[in-house]
């Protein structure tokens, strides 16, 4: 692979970093600008932030070269894979912001809310372009710190504070674990660079085996925390339930894309020499994650909590792509995450639309009779739920299909069988929500908090799920190309 | 046939997607319950008309797939949009488009809430059902097979009876759990048979016995749930009881056939050795369905439940005929499916007619219906006789063919059975008596006797609309009972071909392939 490596940091290296710099500058400027925006016009801040996200996505695509660019002496890479992940992250953040406008308008300091989201997005963008544990850690922490604050943004609500505190403590612990794991690899190979460590691990002598294994375990645990793999998933339900719903929507999509993208990069660049070991660990965790996610989701009465466990379940399915450890598996993960982003954010979008006085449309039976009052919302939510359950003609089916196919190709037939059985279990709690929406009578009068922009976003996401369900080929193709550059 | 090659018109695609297109148009542009009903009827009739050329232009002289269409769909995984029909699948397409019209007319008055959603769900259901019978690509087949769950879930759940939530969840989860195993089987075949999803390629590829064994089990679970076979049948009585009338009609008429069709399309031709190996297993399950489920049917107090159990028993006949590997038995099984499509549909419609009047399906709530509804009594008795397989009805032809085919089962089947296949036929024949018991006993309690209840006395006879949707079924049941040749002719070549596939072992070819494969690999590297 002929990497384009420039001798000096300027200006080509900055060109590769342009989208990130753009976001950083706008975010800081917006922080100042927000002071001058009247309290009742705070939506302007949101619109600027949304435009920034979308521009960043366009810039990421613009900055892409036919060959991967490795900039800043191996601290930063811009390849097709990173660009794909960045586009998804920017899209997820933009949708998260659109869902926030109405929901957050009564909160204090709402301007900073969008700035925090932008910084968090910046962190994720850095993270997926990292080729070095230091860059990765910087991006990861920038993302995580912003999200801790976002989760606790409703300062008057006890549960929001509680969620933020739990998330912060566990998140900080997981970052420590990750760093601790990195130190082992540094000790063995003397480098933070992914590729150098990868080569070092391949040639390390047998005496270093214990250190390498400890490093592997801690790094997987640390990253596992961030993407909610069992048994490191404990924070997820509490954080999801306590966070303001648009933050939950945001958390359930964009950080997962970033987390899995960097996971893939680390597995491909750092760990090929210890594939056997990490496959064993990940297989065990995947088995647990699928079981915990799907079984615990059945018990939930709060839809945010249910979707938290559903996220865990989907993470379990996505892990099959990591375990497959082949091109199709990694491409499958990107397909899965792209489709999952629309499904989960679409479902949260409907939940946010249903917010009413004092009630947040969060309990399952709050949905009772939705189909009579708003057939459009009911249809959108129904399609999202069937898609999450993986029923064909909706995108969710192909998401599962590509990942499972890759796992079968890699010889993990039994694991796929297990995953499929749990996806049938999973269908139970999704279609139970459909039951409330379509079969039950309305209990309390609905009081929607709607805006044209939000409705349009939900419609677009629903159409995307249906369109991808009927013709997923372009997306699969795109992801395959993006991954081909990686390996 | 030359004609359809010359025309080169995507008639199957049109049949599949016309209902969905119609649904889209109705959703967007048609408002008002009355207009929606008429528009849906128009779409379903148009679909029926579109499927008719399949019957008229069908070439009976060949077992090849006809009206084929092939387009790449997901190129990265070699998934194709591949359609085609043969003598096994074509009759089901006509059956589907016909029964859909009847379903829509039958729902005319009894569905008063959310009429538009109901009609749209039915049209989308029709798309998935026709799609299943046309698909020649395993993923496309699975796609339609699973997509069917969504409209069916809503039809039973939204317009169903009191206990509908339980019934729908059970239906959904049973079917889904069954079909995920089919997906695993399909993926296994994809990698084994050289990265293809073409059903025709699977039929030709020599799988060795171990592969056949496990893949067969995967398919078996999916199909057995759908047929349904004992002991995974328990979702059906619940689903039937709670479904609205038209839902029951389409469930008994088409959905159950998908499972048996799966055996004919996948298990027999693709996995002949495993199919032969499992003959005793299938025979035992089929006999349990025929005898035990018939006894269960006798004890039912709910009319829909009774007919549901009777359906399971009749499907037992179908699976029995399928695994006899003779032309007569297989044609009997196929004919039985079509005949059962008419008879069970008609019986559910009869229950629907009574339910619309008294809003109960309890047998004890009726009695002496013949006194107040003479026309209706004639119709229900006619279909009850058909359910008993009285000579003159289409079901008689089916049952006698399966029984003859069983007495005269192929050497392959006999070789796999520990006892003489004659015993199997003798046990299966008890069905004739048992089905007469439960059907006629129900008729006695519901139709005949004196009118003892005021509510029954107030029942009005059938309207012209109600009679209207029975007429085509009456005509078809009697016509096919007296003159089954046109339908059997369509099946002949395909069934002969299927028997040849199912009785030809793939093991020798698999062994030969296993020997040459290393050499081929050596050449490649």
What is the spatial distance between Cα B47 and Cα B19, in angstroms, rounded to a whole number?
7
* Closest alpha carbon to B152 in B168, B134, B170, B135: B168
Which tokens hold the place of B190? 């994809």
Query: What confidence score (pLDDT) does residue A10 get?
Result: 62
Which among A386, A416, A439 has CB closest to B184?
Answer: A416
pLDDT band at B6 (very low <50, low <70, confident <90, very high): very low
**Nearest alpha-carbon partner for B129 in B221, B44, B30, B229:** B44
For residues A439 and A446, give the distance between their C-alpha atoms in angstroms, rounded to a whole number: 16
CA dist A16 and A170 (Å) reads 34
Pick the closest to residue B339 from B294, B305, B389 (CA basis): B389
Instruction: Decide if A481 touches B, using CB distance below 8 A.
Output: no
Question: What was the pLDDT predicted at B2?
Answer: 46
How far apart, in whole angstroms, are the C-alpha atoms of residue A91 and residue A83? 12
- Answer yes or no: are the C-beta atoms of B116 and B26 closer than 8 Å: yes
Give the residue-averaged pLDDT of B74-80: 85
Asked if the C-beta of B24 comes within 8 angstroms of chain A's C-beta atoms, the answer is no
Phi and psi at A302, nearest 5°, equal -95, 125
State whether residue B75 sits within 8 Å of chain A by CB: yes
Q: How far is CA B41 from the centre of its chain?
A: 22
Q: What is the DSSP string of A205-228?
A: -GGGHHHHHHHHHHHHHHHHHHTT
- Please enumerate in sequence order all residues whose Cβ is within 8 A of that of A194, keeping only pairs 6 or more positions apart, or say none: A130, A131, A132, A133, A265, A266, A269, A270
B157 CB neighbours in chain A (<8 A) are 434-435, 438-439
Q: Is B77 on the interface with A (CB under 8 A)?
A: yes
For residues A7 and B365, give the distance between their C-alpha atoms in angstroms, rounded to a whole number.
92
Nearest alpha-carbon partner for A418 in A277, A264, A263, A313: A313
Q: ipTM value of the model? A: 0.84
Closest CA to B107 of B27, B38, B31: B38
- Residues A1-16, buried b or exposed e (16+ Cβ, 10 A)? eeeeebeeeeebbebb
Token output for B228? 């349904």
Residue B124: predicted pLDDT:
92
* CA–CA separation, B184 and A321 (whole Å): 16
| DSSP H helical ranges for A34-157 | 43-63, 80-104, 110-128, 133-151
Question: Given CB atoms, is A435 within the 8 Å cutoff of chain B?
Answer: yes
Nearest-by-CA chain B residue for A477: B76
Give the nearest partner residue to B77 out of A397, A405, A423, using CB atoms: A405
Instruction: Flag if A435 and B168 touch (Cβ within 8 Å).
Output: yes
Is the Cβ–Cβ distance between B230 and B236 less than 8 Å? Answer: no
On whether any CB of chain A is under 8 Å from the CB of B478, the answer is: no
User: Does residue B323 sit in helix, strand or coil?
Assistant: coil
State residue A224's pLDDT score. 92
With a CB cutoff of 8 Å and minimum separation 6, the contacts of A424 are B173, B176, B177, B180
**Does residue B524 surpass a pLDDT of 60?**
no
Q: Do B177 and A428 touch (CB under 8 A)?
A: no
**Chain A contact for B210, CB < 8 A?**
no
CA pair distance B222, A410, nearest whole angstrom:
25
* Distance in angstroms between the alpha carbons of the first and the last residue of chain B: 43
Work out the end-to-end distance of chain A between its first and last CA atoms, rounded to an integer number of angstroms.
9
CA distances for A214 relative to A179, A185, A205, angstroms: 12, 9, 15
The residues with which B362 forms a beta bridge, in sequence order, are: B302
**pLDDT value at position A4?**
53
Strands A69-71 and B66-74: unpaired
What does the CA dihedral A381, A385, A390, A395 come to, rounded to 10 degrees?
A: 20
- The answer to whether B181 faces chain A, any CB pair under 8 Å, is yes
Q: Percent of chain B having pLDDT more than 90?
A: 21
- Tell me if A435 and B157 make a contact (CB, 8 A cut-off): yes
Q: How many CB pairs under 8 A join A and B?
A: 90
**B169 vs A432: CB contact, 8 Å cut-off?**
yes
Contacts of B422 (CB under 8 A, 6+ apart): B407
The predicted structure's pLDDT at residue B1: 42
A187 in reach of chain B (CB within 8 A): no
Q: How far apart are CA B78 and CA B33, in angstroms?
A: 44
Shortest distance, CA B168 to any CA of chain A (angstroms): 9
- Do residues B321 and B330 touch, judged by C-beta distance below 8 A? yes
Token pair recorded at residue A368: 């009772």
Q: Is B473 exposed, middle or buried (0-12, 13-18, 19+ CB in 10 A)?
A: buried
Which pLDDT score, from 0 to 100, does residue A359 have?
A: 58
Asked if A391 and B168 come within 8 Å (Cβ–Cβ), the reply is: no
Comparing CA positions, the residue from A19, A85, A17, A96 lying closest to residue A50 is A96
- The phi, psi pair for A254, rounded to 5°, reads -60, -50
At A92, phi and psi to the nearest 5? -60, -40
Residue of A nearest to B165 (CA): A435
Which chain A positions have a beta carbon within 8 Å of B114's beta carbon?
A: 371-372
- Residue A136 is predicted with a pLDDT of 93
**Closest CA relative to residue A80, chosen from A271, A330, A267:** A330
Interface contact A427-B147, CB threshold 8 A: no
At A55 the pLDDT is: 94
The set of residues, in sequence order, having a beta carbon less than 8 Å from that of A16 and lying 6+ positions away, is A63, A69, A71, A76, A78
Q: What is the pLDDT of residue B31?
A: 84
Instruction: Report pLDDT digits (tens) over B308-363.
Output: 999 999 999 899 989 888 889 999 999 999 999 899 999 999 988 888 888 888 88
* Alpha helix (H) residue ranges in B447-463: 454-457
Which parts of chain A sit beneath pLDDT 50? 1-2
- Residue B14: per-residue pLDDT: 87
pLDDT of residue A356: 61
Chain B, nearest residue to A382 by Cα = B150
């Amino acid at each position: 692979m002929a990497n384009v490596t420039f001798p000096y940091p300027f200006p080509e290296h900055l060109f590769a970093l342009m989208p990130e710099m753009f976001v950083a500058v706008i975010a800081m400027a917006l922080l100042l600008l927000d002071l001058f925006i009247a309290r009742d016009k705070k939506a302007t801040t949101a619109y600027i932030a949304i435009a920034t996200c979308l521009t960043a996505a366009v810039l990421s695509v613009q900055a892409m070269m036919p060959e991967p660019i490795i900039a800043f002496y191996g601290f930063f890479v811009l390849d097709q894979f990173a660009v794909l992940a960045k586009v998804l992250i920017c899209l997820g953040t933009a949708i998260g912001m659109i869902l926030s406008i109405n929901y957050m308008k009564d909160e204090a300091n709402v301007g900073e809310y969008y700035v925090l989201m932008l910084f968090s997005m910046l962190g994720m963008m850095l993270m997926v372009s990292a080729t070095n544990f230091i860059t990765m850690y910087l991006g990861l922490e920038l993302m995580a710190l912003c999200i801790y604050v976002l989760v606790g943004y409703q300062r008057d609500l006890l549960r929001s504070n509680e969620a933020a505190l739990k998330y912060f403590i566990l998140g900080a612990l997981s970052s420590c674990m990750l760093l601790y794991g990195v130190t082992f690899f540094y000790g063995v190979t003397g480098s933070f660079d992914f590729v150098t460590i990868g080569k070092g691990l391949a040639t390390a002598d047998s005496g270093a085996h214990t250190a390498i294994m400890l490093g592997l375990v801690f790094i997987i645990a640390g990253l596992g925390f961030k993407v909610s793999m069992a048994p490191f998933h404990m924070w997820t339900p509490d954080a999801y339930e306590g966070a303001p719903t648009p933050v939950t929507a945001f958390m359930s999509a964009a950080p997962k894309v970033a987390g899995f993208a960097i996971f893939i990069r680390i597995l491909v660049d750092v760990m090929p020499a210890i594939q056997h070991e990490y496959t064993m660990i990940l297989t065990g965790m995947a088995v647990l994650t699928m079981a915990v996610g799907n079984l615990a989701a059945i018990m939930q009465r709060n839809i945010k909590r249910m979707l938290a466990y559903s996220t865990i379940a989907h993470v379990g399915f996505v892990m099959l792509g990591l375990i497959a450890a082949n091109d199709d598996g990694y491409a499958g993960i990107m397909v899965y995450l792209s489709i999952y982003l629309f499904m989960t954010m679409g479902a949260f979008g409907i939940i946010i639309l249903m917010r009413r006085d004092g009630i947040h449309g969060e309990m399952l039976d709050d949905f009772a009779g939705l189909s009579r009052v708003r057939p459009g919302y009911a249809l959108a939510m129904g399609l999202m739920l069937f898609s999450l359950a993986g029923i064909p003609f909706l995108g969710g089916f192909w998401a599962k299909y590509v990942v499972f196919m890759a796992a079968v190709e890699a010889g993990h037939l039994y694991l796929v069988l297990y995953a499929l059985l749990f996806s049938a279990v999973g269908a139970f709690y999704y279609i139970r929500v459909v039951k409330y929406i379509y079969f039950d009578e309305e209990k309390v009068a609905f009081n929607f908090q709607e805006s044209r922009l939000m409705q349009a976003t939900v419609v677009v996401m629903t159409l995307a799920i249906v369109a991808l369900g009927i013709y997923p080929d372009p997306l699969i193709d795109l992801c395959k190309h993006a991954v081909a550059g990686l390996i | 046939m030359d004609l359809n090659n010359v025309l080169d018109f995507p008639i199957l695609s049109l049949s599949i997607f016309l209902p969905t297109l119609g649904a889209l148009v109705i959703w967007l542009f048609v408002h008002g319950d009355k207009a929606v009903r008429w528009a849906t009827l128009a779409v379903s009739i148009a679909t029926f008309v579109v499927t008719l050329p399949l019957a008229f232009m069908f070439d009976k002289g060949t077992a090849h797939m006809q009206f084929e269409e092939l387009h790449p769909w997901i190129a990265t995984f070699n998934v194709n949009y591949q359609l085609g029909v043969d003598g096994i699948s074509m009759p089901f397409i006509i059956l589907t488009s016909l029964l859909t019209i009847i379903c829509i007319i039958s729902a005319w008055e009894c569905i008063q809430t959310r009429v538009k959603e109901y009609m749209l769900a039915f049209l989308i259901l029709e798309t998935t059902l026709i799609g299943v019978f046309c698909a020649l690509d395993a993923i496309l087949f699975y796609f339609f097979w699973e997509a069917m769950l969504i409209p069916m879930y809503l039809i039973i759940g939204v317009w169903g009876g009191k206990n509908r939530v339980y019934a729908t969840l059970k239906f959904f989860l049973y079917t889904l759990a069954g079909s995920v195993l089919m997906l695993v089987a399909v993926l296994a075949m994809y990698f084994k048979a050289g990265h293809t999803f073409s059903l025709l390629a699977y039929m030709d590829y020599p799988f060795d016995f171990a592969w056949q064994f496990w893949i067969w089990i995967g398919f078996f679970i999916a199909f057995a749930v759908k047929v349904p076979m004992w002991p995974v049948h328990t979702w059906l009585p619940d689903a039937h009881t709670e479904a609205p009338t038209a839902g029951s009609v389409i469930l008994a008429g088409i959905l159950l056939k998908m499972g048996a069709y799966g055996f004919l399309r996948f298990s027999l031709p693709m996995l002949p050795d495993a199919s032969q190996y499992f003959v005793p297993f299938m025979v035992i399950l089929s006999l349990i369905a025929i005898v035990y489920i018939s006894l269960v049917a006798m004890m039912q107090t709910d009319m829909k439940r009774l007919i549901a159990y009777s359906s399971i028993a009749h499907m037992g006949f179908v699976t029995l005929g399928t695994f006899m590997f003779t032309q007569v038995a297989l044609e009997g099984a196929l004919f039985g499916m079509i005949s059962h499509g008419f008879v069970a549909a008609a019986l559910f419609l009869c229950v629907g007619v009574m339910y619309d009047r008294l809003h109960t399906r309890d047998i004890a709530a009726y009695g002496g219906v013949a006194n107040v509804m003479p026309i209706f009594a004639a119709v229900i008795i006619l279909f009850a006789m058909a359910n008993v397989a009285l000579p003159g009805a289409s079901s008689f032809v089916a049952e006698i063919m399966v029984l003859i085919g069983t007495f005269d089962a192929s050497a392959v089947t006999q070789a796999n059975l520990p006892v003489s296949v004659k015993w199997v036929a003798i046990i299966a024949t008890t069905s004739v008596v048992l089905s007469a018991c439960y059907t006629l006993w129900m008729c006695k309690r519901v139709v005949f006797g004196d009118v003892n209840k005021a509510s029954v006395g107030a029942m009005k006879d059938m309207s012209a609309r109600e009679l209207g949707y029975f007429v085509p079924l009456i005509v078809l049941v009697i016509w096919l009972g007296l003159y089954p040749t046109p339908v059997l002719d369509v099946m002949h070549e395909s069934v002969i071909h299927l028997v040849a596939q199912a009785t030809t072992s793939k093991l020798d070819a698999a062994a030969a392939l296993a020997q040459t494969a290393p050499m081929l690999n050596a050449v490649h590297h």
